[in-house]
Structure 1
Amino acid sequence: MTTVDGCRLAVTVVAADGPGPVVLLRTPYGRHRLLGEAQGWARRGFTCVVGDVRGRFGSTGEFLPYVHEPADGAAVVDWVADQDFGGGPLLAAGASYGAYCAVTAALARPDVVRGVLASVPALGSARPRGNRVVPRGSPAGWGGGPNTGAPRNRVRRSTI
């Protein structure tokens, strides 16, 4: 599919047996790595569209993290909505940077994207680090550093 500015975004469609909901997965890690997940969605009745983000793997353009995702996500959602597969609601999903792609696509087209599954999201210019968010480029960025003083969220584990 082609964006408004002429960038070609590579997508693979793994179709379900019949019409129904559609799951959109966008990734900088290579759509080929998500084909097993896409096939799992299709076996459960969801057509799955898997796409490489701009400048990665099969997509043209320059990969500039977080810069193009809102507009490109909107373009992919519009493209999916114009296709004759699916016919049901659209769900955007992803992990890490893919979660960011899912969230921005939903924010860009809230009238079309009916839900988001975001796992371990890397949300924009700040990056999750443990139980806090650290601004990118700070001394605590990728390699550690002082505690930001943010309250710690405790997770309770229980067995049922």
Structure 2
Amino acid sequence: MSQPLIQNLNRETELAKEFAAVLGEERAMIKAGNYEALASLLERKVELAGLLGALTRTREAQMGALGIRLGAGGQLFGREIDPVLESAWRKLLSAVRLASDANAVNTAVVDAHLEFTKEAIQVLRQRGDSGPLYGRDGLTRTGPQGVSLASG
């Protein structure tokens, strides 16, 4: 009776673990400064999030059809909760926590990089230059501006 739900939970658990692994790769790339490679990971994260969303909707419908509802702390309530179903549910919760923790660490790493960049820009601005750091052409403005003596 709950076999399709258990299969869905197992697949959802696999994808949540895969999502956590991708977040680990993302963190390694950020730390290494390999920002160009992040684009492919973003595509994979979007794909996994879409698959997880679809499985979540399916799981919720299956649980509703079986009369299973969630209580505080993720506890399952219903007529008869199969021990195999309970085990699959606990594995999913663990995988989701792993992905959530990985996401929180990545957020902290990105926030630290942003803070460092903001401070570096502030230091550059305090040098006494009143103009922008970069011009419209994307190039930095360094040294005196004006007519070049070499151009005649």
- TM-score, normalized by the shorter chain, greater than 0.5: no
Structure with more helix by fraction: 2
Structure with more strand by fraction: 1
Greater length-normalized contact order (CA 8 Å, ≥ 6 residues apart) = 2
Q: Larger C-alpha radius of gyration, 1 or 2? A: 2
Alignment TM-score, normalising by the size of structure 2: 0.28
